[in-house]
């Protein structure tokens, strides 16, 4: 409410501010432990992580990550960065120059590419078949894009003709899709999609966080313009680094928006013709400058994460991509055979299932969370639940990266056998482990 007051020959005008109680409720946080007490040394119970990721890291990765730090411009470290680029080119089966590793989790990598490629108002077609397709939509909207979502029912994937029809109708600048959507365990076939996108003037961005390393993703052969990933699934590392590869067309599209921050601009600096990227941290053009020969400063490189990312790719390349894919396929066949033999139903379109994760329909009358709790508390085994419409209806059992091993698969099925029997599920005891064992025996015969 406004007020006026005479003060000598002057009139003072003001307004009364009524302080109302803030309406925004902050999230609940229970009181923290006493900071002055010496907390116990870290010593968690050893878990076997057989969910949709993260999974147990390969001990080689943990060892690499305990290497002493180097300065990010130390020639030794710059050499490691270049080795990492070369290793990920092999991992992604690409000749792409711009194949590097971002400091950040997989969603940071998705967001960095999209925010750097797409100017506000440009069109993005999101092909969504689960919760992570919805994440692509969410990120595209935050980029200010005009977004259209092509939705497939959960538990299914797209026919490429459906995607092509939507591209023809919408004329997007970018098509974004997951290769594997961990929430539904479905794997979208991608061969041919890059060619379709290019024929209609669109670029193709693929989120391969959950699938790459477990199933082929020949980036050049499939003409994909941007692939982003994380370490915590088939790459057998911790989350926190995002491998990225960009086609030449995508790299040029992004670099056309290059705007170097003020304190770093060289004398001959000319900004790119495109609109400045809205985030400093998520500016892929500046990251390219940092990884380039120019080595322009950006954030302080997370050297420990780079050591880990380098070792993840080194393990893969050493084992050999076909061998790694075969190991994941065998684990998938064994898990499927095992759960089916236990009178459980595999979720969704099994022909298009990701090899590294299996959705299992929770039988009627069985409390899914109770089973997960018993596996964790009595067997130290973690399996996953699911999200949204599948929450409480589907378990997700992962066998990937370091854990795509016969012993890990059979240990999980054996523990599930005990817990399900205790919960009153009807099945032939021991049949699950036997079926998985038979799969591995026939593979090695």
Task: Give the interface with ligand PLP as residue ranges (CB under 6 A).
Answer: 53, 105-107, 132, 178, 181-182, 207, 209-210, 230, 239
CB-count exposure of residue 210 (10 Å: 0-12, 13-18, 19+) = buried
- Among 188, 187, 184, which Cα is nearest to 155's? 184
Output 92 or 437, the one with its CB closest to ligand PLP.
92
CB of residue 210 to ligand PLP, shortest distance in Å: 4
Output 209 or 411, the one with its CB closest to ligand PLP.
209
Interhelix angle for 75-91 vs 303-319, to 10°?
40
Cβ contact 354:187 at 8 Å: yes
CB of residue 440 to ligand PLP, shortest distance in Å: 27
CB of residue 242 to ligand PLP, shortest distance in Å: 7
Output 92 or 132, the one with its CB closest to ligand PLP.
132
Q: Which residues of 222-244 are buried (b: 16+ CB within 10 A; e: fewer)?
A: bbbbbbbbbbbbbbbbbbbbbbb
CB of residue 135 to ligand PLP, shortest distance in Å: 6
- Pairing of β 381-382 and β 10-15: unpaired
DSSP 322: H
Output 178 or 334, the one with its CB closest to ligand PLP.
178
CB of residue 213 to ligand PLP, shortest distance in Å: 13
H helix runs in 276-366, sequence order: 284-291, 303-319, 321-341
Output 104 or 338, the one with its CB closest to ligand PLP.
104
Cβ contact 356:211 at 8 Å: yes
CB of residue 374 to ligand PLP, shortest distance in Å: 24
Cβ contact 211:380 at 8 Å: no
DSSP 155: T
DSSP 238-285: -SSEEEEEE-HHHHHHHHTT----GGG--TT----SSPPPS-STT-HH
CB of residue 52 to ligand PLP, shortest distance in Å: 6
CB of residue 132 to ligand PLP, shortest distance in Å: 4
CB of residue 445 to ligand PLP, shortest distance in Å: 34
Output 52 or 363, the one with its CB closest to ligand PLP.
52
Output 53 or 308, the one with its CB closest to ligand PLP.
53
How far is the CA of 13 from the CAs of 5, 19, 435, in angstroms?
7, 19, 84
Output 139 or 436, the one with its CB closest to ligand PLP.
139
- Among 319, 306, 169, which Cα is nearest to 234's? 319
Round to whole Å and give the CA distance between 61 and 70.
Answer: 17
H helix runs in 353-396, sequence order: 368-379
What element of type H or E holds 207? strand 203-207
Output 127 or 420, the one with its CB closest to ligand PLP.
127
Output 116 or 209, the one with its CB closest to ligand PLP.
209
CB of residue 109 to ligand PLP, shortest distance in Å: 8
């Amino acid at each position: 409410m406004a007020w006026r007051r005479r003060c000598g020959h002057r009139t003072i005008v003001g307004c009364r501010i009524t302080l109302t109680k803030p309406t925004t409720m902050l999230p609940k946080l229970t009181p923290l432990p006493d900071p002055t007490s010496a907390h116990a040394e870290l010593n968690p119970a050893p878990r076997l992580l057989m969910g949709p990721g993260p999974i147990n890291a390969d001990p080689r990765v943990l060892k690499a990550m305990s290497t002493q730090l180097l300065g990010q411009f130390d020639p030794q470290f710059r050499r490691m960065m270049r080795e990492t680029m070369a290793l990920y080119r092999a991992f992604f089966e690409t000749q792409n120059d711009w194949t590097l590793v971002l400091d950040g989790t997989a969603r940071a990598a998705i967001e960095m590419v999209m925010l750097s490629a797409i100017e506000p108002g440009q069109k993005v077609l999101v092909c969504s078949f689960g919760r992570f397709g919805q994440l692509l939509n969410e990120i595209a909207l935050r980029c200010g894009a005009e977004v259209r979502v092509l939705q497939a029912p959960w538990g299914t994937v797209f026919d490429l003709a459906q995607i092509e029809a939507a591209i023809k109708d919408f004329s997007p600048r970018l098509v974004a899709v997951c290769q594997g959507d961990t929430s539904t365990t479905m794997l979208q076939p991608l061969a041919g999609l890059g060619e379709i996108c290019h024929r209609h003037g669109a670029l193709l961005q693929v989120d391969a966080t959950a699938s790459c390393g477990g199933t082929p993703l020949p980036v050049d052969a499939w003409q994909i313009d941007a692939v982003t990933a994380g370490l915590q699934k088939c790459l057998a590392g911790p989350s926190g680094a995002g491998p990225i590869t960009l086609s030449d067309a995508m790299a040029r599209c992004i670099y056309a928006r290059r705007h170097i921050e003020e304190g770093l601009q060289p004398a001959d600096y000319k900004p790119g013709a495109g609109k400045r990227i809205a985030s400093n941290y998520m500016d892929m053009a500046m990251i390219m400058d940092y990884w380039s020969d120019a080595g322009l400063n950006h954030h302080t490189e997370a050297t420990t994460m780079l050591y880990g990312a380098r070792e993840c790719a080194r393990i893969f390349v050493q084992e050999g991509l076909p061998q790694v894919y075969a190991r994941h396929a065998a684990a998938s066949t064994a898990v499927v055979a095992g759960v089916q033999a236990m009178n459980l139903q595999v979720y969704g379109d099994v022909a298009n299932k990701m090899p590294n994760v299996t959705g299992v329909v929770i039988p009627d009358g069985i409390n899914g969370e109770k089973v997960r709790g018993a596996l964790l508390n009595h067997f130290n085994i973690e399996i996953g639940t699911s999200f949204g419409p599948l929450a409480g209806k589907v378990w997700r059992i992962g066998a990937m990266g370091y854990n795509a091993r016969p012993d890990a698969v059979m240990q999980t099925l054996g523990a599930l056998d005990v817990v399900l029997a205790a919960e009153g599920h009807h099945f032939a005891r021991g049949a699950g482990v036997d079926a998985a064992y038979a799969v591995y025996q026939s593979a090695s015969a």
